Structure 1
């Protein structure tokens, strides 16, 4: 056996040669399968070398320490400035050549031109997100460049920008984006070269521009990405905060923003900075209030994801002189922002902040963070910049916020009306700040509200009401009472119905109740009960209506409808007494003088025939009494006669509607009467100003006696009519 084994042993050298032969064959096969194909383009660095016109850029890459990165595997887009671009840059900067660029500048040039992921021109306009990209929605990409810590003269330690609106997230370097302008994006979004040239006048728009550079050779393939040759050296753009801070024309706006800045120390960033630089200074994150529309130092967009490819922030900043004049106007009652509620300053700033990219051609139709269209035009723009995180416009006017310029602004900007403002904020604010709808409001001073028993308890976060001689009430009851006064004090006056109070009239308030005016006085149902009126002390105009300052409040009645009918029967018996006598003797009359079938909180119109009209109804058999003489029988004993009275009264009450002769409400209106089958009955109204024609079930015409009508009651109006209304119950 040993002889056999010995006979097949090979000399050591021969064995090694045999092994090498096998390995050589296998390596060749491996290289053929896995090796770099001959047709594969060289990496970005080597491609730049091969093209022979990037020697200055290559020098910058070397100086920045990026040769190795751009020479090996990766997935980049590189906007490569050619030699002509660098030579122009040298001339502009007054430097002799490559040696004049220090390593820090070189790093800025290289890293800001280097974009994560490889994109051909036709891919750059895509918005990359989960699922699949949205075509034609992208005009920016994230670069490898980001700012690190810096110093401010007003703060000790090192500062770093927030990378979220109102916050900071670890492991996010707040990388800057680089904007580009491609024909596919512009045309798909209704834009044109004019939008580009507004920002970059004198630079030809070619269909593929990067900032103010032109792409002269696109889609150069490389092993580790795509190169786009450009004709200008690009440095990182400032962000909105940086540009604002550097320009003294906007120092007032910056000072207002600074009121909403806090500095938050960050131990992790402090340690990282020490490792990188050796500095032991504390690092603070510069945070803007989360109540602002955005943080102007935040390079990310809303979702802090790839959405920055599609849009950015926009800041419109007034010059110092116009802004200071505007501040003086809105702070006339407070003096300073510190004395005013914080929302005043926030409203001013947010009115100038847009949470999207406002292109010049889309200015008129693009709303700001408060959903307001601009109150200025492009002719007011004096400065414009495309920046790393958005667009900046300087201007010689202000964005006049709706909360300031509308009727809402009068109580909002006056501490004497803080309770009214609080109530408006919870109820009507977002209606009455609409500048395109005209309103009239009657002011509700804190002193008058408190004198009437109303207040707001901050500890309980609740409204309170105390009736004369009563105990304090909290909760919905107190709130509902206050809101009812508030809603009676706000009126939609599209046609200027309350522009002139010297005459006489009636106007529907926000809540459906009515307010009357006469000889420059006004009153609501509660004032009528008290026999008082409000006198006009002052009129102030706003963008969307008039604001009246008076000597009281528009109050509501505490009494039921029957109470006011009874009063009318006493003061004007010829027009109201017969109807009242039938009513109070009927089953509809309650001990509290309510009318059975009416529901508290609903609206009603009571149409009351005159005594003569009631007499006619008696003669025709619609009401019990002497059919020959027309004398009423107010206390019938027969059930059939009692039913006549009930049906008659119910047909003369409009259900869930208050209607006055103001020319606004016309059509068929439901009454309280039901047919024997339970169906609704109706009266048709043809309504004109000071003329209201009623048509009953037989199309008979009955007119409202305007001079005796428009009597205010509890969510109701009481009218005198010159005839009675005939109904059908079958």
Structure 2
């Protein structure tokens, strides 16, 4: 009885299940309106028979006949027939599985995009319209043989991430993108002169039918077979006319074995040899702009949709003589600092893909515009990760062709180059600025006690007979000497140094020249000059090769005035005597109260005759009948007058020389009792300096006895005491 009941129950269960299955099929079955998967849609349309055979050979039938979400750029039968003819292929049977995989996988873009959405940049914050022209495909290059080694390209700039296959991107060109970016059919046909721009092109093909719906994505029918584009590295390897540039790039390549990739490759191929990741030293010690084998872009996420890299690679015929030019002192790149090779390579690399119509106005990875024109482009290729331009000249790196290049490319000036790199370099490599630069050789700097400790990463200074010091003080000394050796000469001010004159240096201090010699404040103190041995030229000025350093003065301004009073009492004696007897003089260190060390000043010293006239007029204390000054007046009013006189004849934090450069109103050290500043109006021309006081009186600089250089100061004699009493 129990057995009968169990059989009845079993039959009931089967009956219920059967009824429920019928209900599922009836209510939850495949809707008749739902499109078929990509594979079936291609079959139904009837003009993709060759592409379908490639799909079958590639092993992607099950993928495209099932789920997923793809955009498929499918070449029609006419496209394949043209492909067969162009490549001498007899038909479908002549296409091997590897080629079939390339065609199929490169035609598949992850995710389904309608035509109007292909220009959207897909990012986590939402789509940004009209800025995309590429999408990541299913195709990637796996491990390959390089000699006896197994190699896999890096998928980042200078690094590798194991869960990223370094998939190639496929480019497309739509009117919407071109209009937004200010491009035209010229930019497409520059790379594809044999293809017609249709407003919707994919690589070398035109889209003849778009947005064909399928269950697992969208199909765009194209009229040409599209093979995977080479990367910038691939294209460079394929062309021997760039072998010299390729050889230089090889110097910044390193290889590192990867255990996980080795294991994965063994599972796929059965080869148990170690796999090495090929790195270009991008962002590390060499600082290469990018890795040419990296199919991703900067962020290695989806930003490859919007941009890529650029290569302007010189032919061997152009590059080899240029190497000889920049290496005339070092002879080889191995002997030169790594920065020399990096500068050469980076000058030819763009971190944003330069479209043909915008190439000449673009900037390379060093922020430099091209020094070549489109007429120099002898070869061009749109690559999977950027644009390749083969050129019959070189991109002239600013670090080579400007005045900076003279020390940078010469091992005799490595100390100077190190000092330049700390700050001034980026001004010197600007071709729009014109400079004259005094060269500072290692020999000269060492003789003056300057060196650099690589162990401490610090400058060292040891004065003759003194103790070596390291750190900020030696560095400040070097920086000051260097800045005093660089001159902005936009109007060729130092082209002729055979006469006599004065020029302002980069840091605002002054240097004098006479009969092709130079001397700064420190040189004047010790009675030395720097001789010009020869001159070198560059695109933005010239350099002077000399036999010494331009030294800064280390004598306080009061000390200078004391020396001048002893050497030239008629022009400096009375002024100095007023100064040392005044309340603003410091006997301990010969400084003047109100003047701060490290700031620039100009001192106008009235001659003895001028001061005598001021005494006679009652402006300064003394015997009005004879003009003999009273240097130590007892009356407070007279003491204040002396201080006001001294302060009014000192420009506050400004140095002005008779070089014709600076004119206008300048503040003095003097302030009124109400705290108001006082000024002197200066009219400046070469060899002449005229001062107009606040009360309208005029004084002239006595040029022959002026332009005395001190420690951040310049001293002039003048022929009149300016009225320091504000009316």
Normalised by the shorter chain, which TM-score bucket? over 0.9
Instruction: For 1:196-215, list aligned pairs within 5 A.
Output: 196-215=188-207
Q: Deviations over 1:481-519 (max 9, x none)?
A: 111111101111111111111122111111111011111
Unpaired runs of 5+ residues, structure 1, are none
User: 8 Å contact 2:694–2:726 — kept in the other structure?
Assistant: no
CA-to-partner distance for each residue in 1:118-160, whole Å, 9 max, x for gaps? 011111111110111111111111000011111123xx22111
- Within 2, Cα distance between the matches of 1:495 and 1:30? 90
Structure 2 partner of 1:123: 117
Q: Assess, with a 3 A threshold, how the Cα gap between structure 1 residues 528 and 79 changes in structure 2: closer, same or farther.
A: same
1:247 maps to: 239
Q: Which residue, 597, 602, 607 being the options, matches 2:599?
A: 602
Partner of residue 62, structure 2: 68
2:627 is aligned with 1:630? yes
Match in the other structure for 1:349: 345
Alignment partners' CA distance in 1, 2:173 and 2:682: 62
Q: Aligned pair 1:333/2:324, yes or no?
A: no
Q: How far does residue 707 in structure 1 lie from its aligned partner after superposition?
A: 2.8
SS of structure 2 residue aligned to 1:364: coil
User: 1:695 aligned to 2:692?
Assistant: yes
The answer (yes or no) to whether the contact 1:674–1:729 under 8 Å persists in 2 is no
Q: How does 1:277-426 map to 2 (within 5 A)?
A: 277-290=269-282, 291-426=287-422
- Deviation of 1:23 (Å): 4.9
User: C-alpha distance in 2, partners of 1:567/1:35?
Assistant: 108
Moved more, 561-570 or 250-259: 561-570
Instruction: Find the counterpart in structure 1 of residue 156 from structure 2.
Output: 164
Select between 607-616 and 458-467 the one with higher mean Cα deviation: 607-616
Q: Is residue 272 from structure 1 mapped to residue 264 from structure 2 by the alignment?
A: yes
- Give how far 1:113 is off: 0.4
Q: Structure 1 CA distance, aligned partners of 2:182 and 2:659?
A: 46
Q: Among 548, 566, 571, which residue is 1:570 paired with?
A: 566
- 1:728 Cα shift? 3.7
Secondary structure in 1 matching 2:39: helix
Runs of 4+ in 1 over 6 A off after TM superposition: 9-18
TM superposition shift of 1:19: 5.7
Q: Which residue of 1 aligns with 2:219?
A: 227
Match of 2:79 among 74, 85, 96: 85
Q: Equivalents in 1 of 2:343, 2:90: separation in Å?
A: 51
Post-superposition Cα deviations, 1:60-107, rounded to whole Å, max 9, x if no partner, equal 101111111111111100000000001111112222211111111111
TM-score by length of 2: 0.96
Partners of 2:137 and 2:725 lie apart in 1 by: 81
Structure 1 window deviating more from structure 2 (399-408 vs 674-683): it is 674-683
SS of 2:592's equivalent in the other structure is coil
- Which residue is 2:642 aligned to? 645
Aligned residue runs from structure 1 range 47-196, under 5 A: 47-153=41-147, 156-196=148-188
CA RMSD across the alignment: 1.9
Deviation at 1:295, TM superposition (A): 1.0
Q: CA deviation at 1:35?
A: 3.1
Shift of 1:409: 0.5
Question: 2: CA distance between counterparts of 1:170 and 1:19?
Answer: 52
| 1:660 maps to which of 652, 657, 661 | 657
Q: Displacement of 1:207 after TM fit?
A: 0.7
CA distance in 2, matches of 1:103, 1:449: 68
Aligned pair partner of 2:584 in 588, 601, 613: 588
Distance 2:567 2:28 in 1: 108
Aligned to 2:546: 550
Q: TM-score, normalised by structure 1?
A: 0.96
In the alignment of these two chains, the number of paired residues is 722
Per the TM alignment, residue 270 of structure 1 is displaced from its structure 2 partner at its CA by: 1.4
Work out the CA distance in 2 between the residues paired with 1:482 and 1:623.
Answer: 44
SS in 2 for 1:612: helix
Partners of 1:595 and 1:148 in 2: CA distance: 76
The change in CA–CA distance for 1:394 and 1:714 in structure 2 (over 3 A counts) is same
* Partners of 1:676 and 1:729 within 8 A in 2: no
Separation in 2, partners of 1:443, 1:211: 53
Q: Is the 8 A contact 1:149 1:283 kept in 2?
A: yes
**Distance apart, 1:706 and its partner CA:** 2.5
Contact 2:206 2:222 (8 Å CA) reproduced: yes
* Residue matched to 1:458: 454
The 8 Å contact of residues 174 and 298 in structure 1, kept in 2 or not, is answered as yes
1:74 aligned counterpart, secondary structure: coil
What is the DSSP-based 3-state SS (H/G/I as helix, E as strand, rest coil) of the residue aligned with 1:234?
coil
How much has 1:31 moved relative to structure 2? 4.2
The answer to whether the 8 A contact 1:694-1:703 is kept is yes
| Shift of residue 708, structure 1, vs aligned partner | 2.5
SS in 2 for 1:199: coil
Q: How far is 1:275 from its partner?
A: 1.0
Contact kept? 1:647, 1:673, Cα under 8 Å? yes
CA distance in 1, matches of 2:319, 2:350: 18
- What secondary structure sits across from 1:144 in the alignment? coil
Q: Which runs of 5+ in 2 are unaligned?
A: none
Change in Cα spacing, 1:205 to 1:636, as seen in structure 2 (3 Å) is: same
1:724 Cα deviation from its structure 2 partner = 1.6
Matches within 5 A, 1:527-542: 527-542=523-538
Aligned to 2:29: 35
| Alignment partners' CA distance in 2, 1:63 and 1:467 | 80
Q: CA deviation at 1:224?
A: 0.6
Query: Does residue 685 of the first structure (1) align with residue 682 of the second (2)?
Result: yes
In 2: Cα distance, 1:575 partner to 1:708 partner:
8
Equivalent of 1:503, from 489, 499, 512? Answer: 499
* 1: CA distance, partners of 2:253 / 2:371: 27
Residues 169-226 of structure 1: CA distance to partner in whole angstroms, max 9, x if unpaired?
A: 1111111111111111111111111111111113211111111111111111111111
Equivalent residues of 1:407, 1:547 under 8 A apart: yes
The C-alpha deviation readout for 1:418-448, integer Å capped at 9, x for no partner, is 1101111112111111111111110001111
